[in-house]
Amino acid sequence: MRGFAGLWSPGRIAPELAAAFRAAVGEARLARPLPGLLLAAGDGCLLAEADGAAVVADADLLLDGASPDPATAILAAHRGADPGRLDGSFAYACWSQGGGLELAVDLFRTRPLVYARLGDTLCFASRTEPLRALPGVDTQVDLAALVDYLSFAVIPAPRTFFRGIHKLRAAHSLGCRDRVGEPERYWQLRYREDGGGSRSALAAELRDRLASAVARQRGTGDRVGCFLSGGLDSSTVVGLAAACGPCDAFSIGFDEARYDERAYARISAQRYGARHHERVVTPDDLADSIEAVVTAFDEPFGNSSAIAVYQCARFAREAGMATLLAGDGGDELFAGNERYGTDYLFQRYHRLPSVARALLAPLSTSGFCGLPLVGKAGRYVRRARLPNPDRLLSYGLYADRHLDEVLQPELLAEVAGHRAVATAREIYGGGESESELGRLLLFDHQLTLADNDLRKVTEGCGAAGVKVRYPMLDRGVVELAGRVPAGWLLEGGRLRAFYKDAMKDLLPQEVLTKSKHGFGLPFASWLRTDGRLRSLVGDLLESETSPLAEWVRPSFLTHLHQAHLGESEPYYADLLWPFLALAVWLSGAPHD
């Protein structure tokens, strides 16, 4: 069993459920501190029981003298009702005689935890597999989760692919005393417009907090390396790690210029004196690893760059690294994604005088929108008048907007009107900020970070046998980001304005001024040229035996494939990938 698992009941655990649980966890270590609690820990997980308390955890904590070991630190956080005091990544279940049972995950859910209710019994685990083996857990496909997946390429928390199993959201805990409680948020970042401190003072504080975070997470071991893509955040992490001692940096590239950033990675590695390791990833690497990577996830996951993460992590593992430092999080903390700049332009519409907006409003429905300039202005006004997150997503959610064409007709009624945009609105409504930009950033903290990028990197590294740490998501760095006014974060619409100004003495000029690139995979061009990939798409998506045929119309998938072949941009191939990942997952992972 990977990870940990457990059962809790206010009385005694039913014998047949306990027996099924023991079978599901196999050779895992077991503890039963009381008749109503059964815990299991797989390799690499903590299991401790002493003095009227028990802990099971998947954790990578940075400890100090006050907490000499992870179990002591977790128990102290449990007794203080403050999981957020823990420094590092964690998912745990902690029981004490005075505090009952508590489940918790870290601020961004870098380590997962899922749960299911069976009457008054709570079943929980790091992954869905042990829960899916228990009698009574509803493992039918959650069609609302399927709809979300087809638009977001991931399944946002708290849903999973399985109707009766739920994710514990980032920065949430769930307590049980005499009954199973409800998940509660224990920490909330708020973006404030007057967070205190001058711009120069906040910039200096950011540099200090980042340096401290990298130094603590790097440690003193010689088997810790860094991802290096050549972007702002990975270059920052490498630069600060190299300041602490010899540093190994790992980059992958492609024989596709628009996806290859190795030139920038080389500039950063040379600037900091890091030992730079490069590897070119090919279509054969994708075809050879797609099943292993996709089925490493405990539910469908459709971000293609998980393959790139895996390839880079495996490369680092072969070079002797046990842990990698990743730069994920900076764009969502300090406003680095293109969509923030786009929304900045739309927000300018709302700053116009009401008279000007009234004059522009008819353009959104003008009969002259076929004229280039009028049409462009009309589209701008239509999008600007949408509330967020609809405005943010107005050029996305392709499957959601075409759901009648995507799903088999008999499923449309079962979906009962659910759309992915409703999930987005719920997530967006949960953020607290004094600015529109802050609300967009908080929206991405869940949907882009916790549900997507961090999961991609954690699982991709895990499949390669490497641990990963995220210095940019150190609590001190994150909370400082919340103190930076929106006008500084995105000054004049310039992405990462405050961050770039703060780090200009550390980062190479070429990295500071380059356009945002991303960490993508050239699946689109490979699908045109590689026979193995074309066969894979044909066999898994367009054949009569496709594992998706129960849910998705083959004609829609054929349409996406043909549309991709008819244009040079990767748009349709990017839409096709989540369907391919779902088909591979269904073919390689057991499900009901």
Q: For the segment 395-411, what is each residue's pLDDT rounded down to a tens digit?
A: 888 899 999 999 999 99
Residues 473 and 539 in one domain: no
d(CA 568, CA 8): 55
Q: Is the pLDDT of residue 359 over 60?
A: no
Q: Which domain holds residue 282?
A: 190-334+445-513
Helix (H, G, I), strand (E, B) or coil at 510: helix
- Residue 142 domain flag: yes
- Name the residue among 514, 471, 454 with its Cα closest to residue 230: 514
d(CA 102, CA 89): 17
Q: How much is the pLDDT for 591?
A: 45
- Residue 296 domain flag: yes
Residues 11 and 121 in one domain: yes
CATH of the domain at 10: 3.60.20.10
Place of tokens 């030139």: 263
Residues 457 and 308 in one domain: yes
Structure-derived torsion over alpha carbons of residues 289, 295, 301, 306, reported in degrees to the nearest 10: -30
Q: Which of 156, 185, 214 is the last residue of a domain?
A: 185
Residues 456 and 489 in one domain: yes
Q: How much is the pLDDT for 545?
A: 85
Predicted TM-score (pTM) of this structure: 0.94
- Residue 420 domain flag: no
Give pLDDT tens digits for 487-506.
999 999 999 999 999 999 99
Q: What is the DSSP letter of 104?
A: E
- Residue 506 domain flag: yes
Residues 114 and 101 in one domain: yes
Sign of CA dihedral 384, 386, 388, 391: negative
d(CA 79, CA 86): 12
Residues 570 and 493 in one domain: no
Residues 472 and 330 in one domain: yes
Give pLDDT tens digits for 531-554.
999 899 988 998 888 899 999 998
- Residue 431 domain flag: no
What stretch of H or E contains 422?
Answer: helix 420-429
Q: How much is the pLDDT for 382?
A: 77
Residues 49 and 62 in one domain: yes
Residues 171 and 227 in one domain: no
- Name the residue among 82, 256, 260, 95 with its Cα closest to residue 186: 82
Q: Which of 471, 487, 513 is the last residue of a domain?
A: 513
Q: What is the mean pLDDT of the chain?
A: 91
- Residue 408 domain flag: no
Q: Which of 158, 185, 212 is the last residue of a domain?
A: 185
Q: How much is the pLDDT for 62?
A: 92
Among 142-146, 418-422, 515-519, the range scoring the smallest mean pLDDT is: 515-519
Q: How many domains is the chain partitioned into structurally?
A: 3
Angle at 128 (CA atoms; ends 124, 130), nearest 5 degrees: 70
Residues 164 and 15 in one domain: yes
Residues 76 and 169 in one domain: yes
Structure-derived torsion over alpha carbons of residues 361, 363, 366, 370, reported in degrees to the nearest 10: -160
Residues 180 and 195 in one domain: no
